[in-house]
Amino acid sequence: MDPLILSRIQFGANISFHILFPAITIALGWVLLFFKLRYNATGDTAWMRAYFTWVKVFALSFAMGVVSGVTMSFQFGTNWPGYMKTVGNIAGPLLAYEILTAFFLEAAFLGIMLFGFRRVSNRIHTLATVLVAGGTTVSAFWIIALNSWMQTPAGFEMRDGVAHATNWWAILFNPSMPYRLVHMLLASGLTVSFLIAGLSALRYLYGDRSESMWKALRTGVFTAAILIPIQIFAGDQHGLNTLEYQPQKIAAMEANWNTGPNVPLVLLALPDEAAKENKFEITIPDGASLVLRHSASGVVPGLNDYAGNHPPVFPVFWGFRIMVGTGVLMLVVSWSAAFFLKRRHSLPRPLAMLMVPMALSGWLATLAGWYTTEIGRQPWLVTGVLKTADAVGPVAGSHVALTLAIYLILYVLLLIAYLGVLVHLALKAAKDGDASPLPGVMNAALSQPAAGE
């Protein structure tokens, strides 16, 4: 079999599995800090119970993220040696800074955050939470900077076929970087708030009316309700940025085959790349021109301008629609839930039942969005610099096929185990309610017994 397509599937599978967990830990760190600060301010132990329920999810997600991230750092070398040979001078330092400024910080203070509550002062424990949350966010900064540079490269020159840095500031803050970073951080916030809201709704359905459940539920629902309109706006701005720097990606996202004015907005269709047309399309007249150019006669780029140099249309078109559709659903669900929590101080059963599967809506939207932007960059690995096909290594297709199969089995099993543990933790918390063991409170010496023991 073809090592190129197998290596692509393998890296795609790895990075798809990996992103699920940073999407949780980036924002969950800050949510944990919020729980911790509320506890510090009010002394209400329900906040600390919520903290201890969710810190377990954080620990597990962090471990899953670490092991799948380590895998990727090796795969650059095993499967994509051409990538580092061509752009290693740019990608290398960004990855190195991620390790130096984020990985060690998170890893060292995670231990204190998880197991150190009775071993360090409350203040140091809060500080450890801040450092872990900050570490995950800094980590996201470096990775998004590198990814954005691959989309919209800047600040470098080519010498003998190898990229050399000329301006690190321009490399870091390349044209699409600020938009992508904001979009991803908000995506993480939404992933976590829906996860917390969904698992809390599960506890609610099982009859749990404890204070810690209410606190987590409200935090999840209100955070989601606030973030989703901001995300819709940020996503729109990101799209306009893509229109400016990667018009061929926009053409594929909109399945627009011909450049011109008065382009309709294709809501749903089956794009047919061979025939260069859409089958079964539902459109809004002049819609795409209005959305992208704010005028019915605005010219929208079409795929005919980029023959042989544009991404595959079908996955990009549908990836984008799944992301947007999930976003709209998130808006409806989070605003209804916020309304009921604010006005009625309860949750209608059908809404709670809808919120449980919506716990994973953030994952779906995040994956669909990344598929849109990453497949949308093809056939380039680094836009205009390196084609994906030129980066693949000399490994035999059979080797890649074998490892791919085992990775897939492993990832599916781990994902099932992970979701099983999430549900198990939620149901256990529902059963314990506010009777779960109280955490200790201390500002003094080591190993002091916890309150309530």
Choices 91-99, 248-256, 297-305, 376-384; region in contact with other proteins by CB under 8 A: 91-99
How far apart CA 79 and CA 407 sit, in angstroms, is: 14
Choices 74-82, 192-200, 235-243, 378-386; region in contact with other proteins by CB under 8 A: 74-82
- Minimum distance from residue 297 beta carbon to other proteins (Å): 47
Subset of 343-382 contacting other proteins (CB under 8 A): none
Please identify which residue in 1, 267, 405, 421 interacts with other proteins, judged by CB under 8 A: 421
Please identify which residue in 9, 12, 37, 118 interacts with other proteins, judged by CB under 8 A: 118
Please identify which residue in 178, 260, 397, 440 interacts with other proteins, judged by CB under 8 A: 440
- Minimum distance from residue 81 beta carbon to other proteins (Å): 3
Asked if 55 is part of the footprint of other proteins (rule: CB under 8 A), the reply reads: yes
Choices 118-126, 246-254, 274-282, 319-327; region in contact with other proteins by CB under 8 A: 118-126
Structure-block tokens of residue 431:
């059963």
- Minimum distance from residue 113 beta carbon to other proteins (Å): 10
Please identify which residue in 89, 258, 259, 304 interacts with other proteins, judged by CB under 8 A: 89
Choices 234-242, 317-325, 381-389, 391-399; region in contact with other proteins by CB under 8 A: 391-399
Site map for other proteins, 95-114, x if CB under 8 A?
A: xxx-xxx-xxx-xxxxxx-x
Name which of 138 and 360 has its Cβ closer to other proteins: 138
Please identify which residue in 260, 414, 433, 434 interacts with other proteins, judged by CB under 8 A: 414
Choices 162-170, 181-189, 209-217, 299-307; region in contact with other proteins by CB under 8 A: 162-170
Choices 22-30, 67-75, 179-187, 236-244; region in contact with other proteins by CB under 8 A: 67-75
- Minimum distance from residue 183 beta carbon to other proteins (Å): 26
Name which of 75 and 193 has its Cβ closer to other proteins: 75
How far apart CA 320 and CA 373 sit, in angstroms, is: 9
Subset of 183-202 contacting other proteins (CB under 8 A): none
Asked if 329 is part of the footprint of other proteins (rule: CB under 8 A), the reply reads: no
Please identify which residue in 42, 123, 168, 349 interacts with other proteins, judged by CB under 8 A: 168
Please identify which residue in 4, 16, 40, 119 interacts with other proteins, judged by CB under 8 A: 119
